A and B are shown apart, each in its own frame.
Chain A
Amino acid sequence: MSQGSKIVIKDFSFYYDSVQALQNIGLDIQPKQIFTVFGPARSGKTTLLKSLNRLTDLIFGTSHTGTILLDGMDIYDPELSLTQLRRRIGIVFDLPIPLPMSIFDNVAYGPKLSGTNRRNRLNEIVEKALRSAVLWEEVKDRLHTSALRLSGGQQQRLCIARILALEPEVLLLDEPCSGLDPISTASIEETLRKLKEEYTIILVPHNIQQASRVADRAGFFLNGELIETGPVFQIFTRPKDKRTEDYVTGKFG
């Protein structure tokens, strides 16, 4: 199964000081699929996502054991360029956080960091990214106004566009629709279905319904443990583990 996997997580545990947030996780993520990581609050979903592009490094006092491989390469290899890793594995947070600059500058932020400064090239990148995030038509006439003036749903699609401008290989989405209205949610889900054709996506869903609508495979997390994984259809209709079944049917959560 690990043949052709985009990401392989082996026996991965993660600690905040002495508190264990993830316990011996083992997981294969296939390319060009949406894998959904679901479970109740504080089950380690966000920690898993942030471990994958090492944003957890920013938090003082964390440690881990086990390995995570991206295309067979250890992401905790000291030789590895952290900025490169974060370009290959992009993340979208649960709340949209536009930087206090124009729409254009938000999307161009990542490419500029890596030294892309030619105006024509940046224009192309920004337009392509905004089109992919299905935001272009709404903002094309006001690219140079502040991103803070966009609506919540637009801001979240802007955050997706900002990541896409880096042309990453993997997209991590941490409840990208929390706090959004159903119409914005539908348009983001539509965006995800399109993006799946090119990207490997790991999604922490807003709710189980969302997971079943967009994902191909799912993994159920509980208290830092991966309880079971499988195709979405099977997990949500015939889970093997009693705890998964209880959660999916709404007995707790």
Chain B
Amino acid sequence: MAALSTIAVMILILFQILREGLPVLNLHFFLNSPKNMGREGGIFSTIIGTFALTGVAILVGAPLGVGTAIFLREYTRESKISRIIRFGTDCLAGVPSIIFGLFGFVFFVIRLNMGWSILSGGLTLAAMILPTIISTSEESIRAIPPSYREVSYSLGGTKWQTITRVILPSALPGIFTGILLSVGRSIGETAAVILTAGSSLVMPTSLVSPIRTMAVHFYILAREGISKDMAYGTGATLILLVLIINMIAQWLIGRYIRHRT
């Protein structure tokens, strides 16, 4: 019953958004930037904005998160330090996104003088997705049999070689799943993004340009009552994008696992 209602809710949301949004979608909608505050034109600049912001968030957050997970699992034993780091990440995971937005605004936008920009927003999102990436990576590294490490060392491997050639390849599907969740969260985030990346409709030209993401665009179009059609079109694009990314990623993970076992 619970499972059924979950699926029912999902189908309802999808159906509603796609029914209203799909008719709006065409090549013109994807490839032209918004005009007249979004009443006309397309959503091209917001697609670019979404990819740029998510890209920065993942490029910064993933290495940091995976690095932290490796440190926690391979370089420290259970100790005060590792418990403090883990407690910190758990707390971070529970912080509402608007608080991240406030922090990003005060720290990146004002203090570091980055202004409303892809960089400020990306770094803020990186901080936000860090706990997810750390905990999924840590979990998948934990699941690797200790004997793999012993084998690698017994064949003359150094610690670093063992991590890069055995641990990370084995943990990759789990790490990838964490990154995927983070991509979804970054693409869909609004509150933190408005406060740190702005909501400019101008095509970005560099990392310090302000941008508007699809999610923010959707929010503003609906909130300000600018255009219901355009809002649903943006929403449908957003949902389809997330679906496509997930499908491609699942396919890649499946192929990778089949190849290794």
What is A's interface to B at a CB cutoff of 8 Å? 53, 55, 58, 60, 83-84, 86-87, 90-91, 93, 95, 97, 99-101, 109-110, 112-114, 146, 148-149, 162-163, 166
Contact call A113/B157, Cβ cutoff below 8 A: yes
B153 at the interface (CB under 8 A from A): yes
Contact call A83/B154, Cβ cutoff below 8 A: no
Known: A100-B170, A148-B261. Contact between A58 and B148, CB under 8 A?
A: no
Interface size class of B (residues with CB under 8 A): 20 to 34
Q: How far is the CB of B76 from chain A (nearest CB, A)?
A: 11
A-B pairs, top 7 by smallest CB distance, nearest first, are: A110-B155, A87-B156, A83-B156, A97-B147, A86-B156, A100-B260, A91-B154
A-B interface contact total, Cβ < 8 Å: 66
Beta-carbon nearest neighbor of A98 in chain B? B151
List CB contacts (< 8 Å) of B159-181 with chain A: 161, 165-166, 169-170
Contact call B155/A166, Cβ cutoff below 8 A: yes
Contact call A109/B170, Cβ cutoff below 8 A: no
Q: How far is the CB of A123 from chain B (nearest CB, A)?
A: 19
List CB contacts (< 8 Å) of B128-152 with chain A: 145, 147-152
Specify which chain A residues have a CB less than 8 angstroms from the CB of B170 in the assembled complex: 100
Contact call A99/B261, Cβ cutoff below 8 A: no
- How far apart sit A146 and B169, CA to CA, in the bound complex (Å)? 14
What is B's interface to A at a CB cutoff of 8 Å? 77, 145, 147-158, 161, 165-166, 169-170, 259-261
Q: How far is the CB of A159 from chain B (nearest CB, A)?
A: 8
- How far apart sit A83 and B149, CA to CA, in the bound complex (Å)? 14
- How far apart sit A99 and B151, CA to CA, in the bound complex (Å)? 8
Give which listed residue, B145, B147, B156, contacts A110 with CB less than 8 A: B156
Q: How far is the CB of A41 from chain B (nearest CB, A)?
A: 19
Specify which chain A residues have a CB less than 8 angstroms from the CB of B165 in the assembled complex: 109, 112-113
7 contacts between A and B (CB under 8 A): A87-B155, A99-B148, A100-B261, A113-B158, A146-B261, A149-B261, A166-B155
Give which listed residue, B153, B166, B169, B261, contacts A58 with CB less than 8 A: B153
Q: How far is the CB of A142 from chain B (nearest CB, A)?
A: 14
Specify which chain B residues have a CB less than 8 angstroms from the CB of A53 in the assembled complex: 154
Known: A60-B77, A100-B261, A148-B261. Contact between A113 and B150, CB under 8 A?
A: no
- How far apart sit A55 and B153, CA to CA, in the bound complex (Å)? 8
- How far apart sit A112 and B151, CA to CA, in the bound complex (Å)? 14
Known: A60-B77, A100-B261. Contact between A83 and B158, CB under 8 A?
A: yes
Specify which chain B residues have a CB less than 8 angstroms from the CB of A113 in the assembled complex: 155-158, 161, 165
Contact call A146/B151, Cβ cutoff below 8 A: no
Specify which chain A residues have a CB less than 8 angstroms from the CB of B152 in the assembled complex: 99, 109
Q: How far is the CB of A56 from chain B (nearest CB, A)?
A: 11
Of residues A101, A146, A148, which shows the largest number of chain B Cβ atoms within 10 Å of its Cβ?
A101
- How far apart sit A101 and B150, CA to CA, in the bound complex (Å)? 16
- How far apart sit A93 and B149, CA to CA, in the bound complex (Å)? 13
- How far apart sit A149 and B260, CA to CA, in the bound complex (Å)? 10
